[in-house]
A and B are shown apart, each in its own frame.
Chain A
């Protein structure tokens, strides 16, 4: 299965444009498997340094995880303030505390106006962005969360450090 949506302005990217390997994650902020994958990604970034670029796209499973959508929209809201990764990390690092109040507190902690966040969530200002991420994922064969793509190729093995680092290493050499 290959990733069908190329990187664009809409994406949140960490790492160098010249990196040999791009790791794309489709994730859900309320999904416990994604919560466990979060430190794995951090470790991979440390391990591969400049040779790895990381992209996170939203794939909220809303029927199962009612807070996944507001969390995704809150991260997109933060992105418009240049604070996407602060929000992203803050949510995954405190996943068990996830609530609308928590998102509001996290926004405030990172220097954003909680009322502006509440307005954005209320008006669905970032709903379309999240939906576009989701449908792009569906079209690329995302079949659950987290789903990783390494240089566009879906990683079907377990999303653990060993298997991901092995696949990244292979892509780096390839």
Chain B
């Protein structure tokens, strides 16, 4: 499945973020958004992708970017996972119809879960960077940070 092109408007969506609240992408216009599709909550490794982003969150926030994690797990599962891992960013449930938003972004694996696909969307809602990592490989955060720096018009970033 092909990812939507860089330079194209990010497909809009509304997904549950808690059992009784939703997030709509277009309502976040005005600040950059990072979409991080990932296969599943409760991956058995320490320092998994979401845990890493949790640690790097202050750097994302320096660019005023909003990070949204997305998998096909349900909202209750996300709530338990976020609590256990002390995640400080929302996890969206692409649960019903299953994987619909992942498919919209070309990030749905035929085995029934989201790929490790990353998107950086600018404050106007245009996709400015994307990357899809093999399912077994955590893509890290460096690509996201570089993309955010480009948006902010910075050459280099003081760590």
Contacts and interface: CB of A to CB of B under 8 A. Distances in A.
Interface stretch (B21-29, B45-53, B68-76, B93-101): B45-53
Interface string B17-36: 00000000000000000000
B159 A135 contact: yes
Interface stretch (A47-55, A78-86, A95-103, A142-150): A142-150
Contacts of A32: 46
Chain B contact-residue range equals: 20 to 34
By secondary structure, the B interface counts as loop
Contact of A139 (B45, B55, B86, B159): B159
Contacts of B49: 143-144
B66 to A, nearest CB: 18
Interface in A2-29: 28
Contacts, number: 70
A64 B51 contact: yes
Chain A contact-residue range equals: 20 to 34
A62 interface: yes
B52 A143 contact: yes
Interface of B: 45-49, 51-52, 54-56, 59, 85-88, 137-142, 145, 157, 159
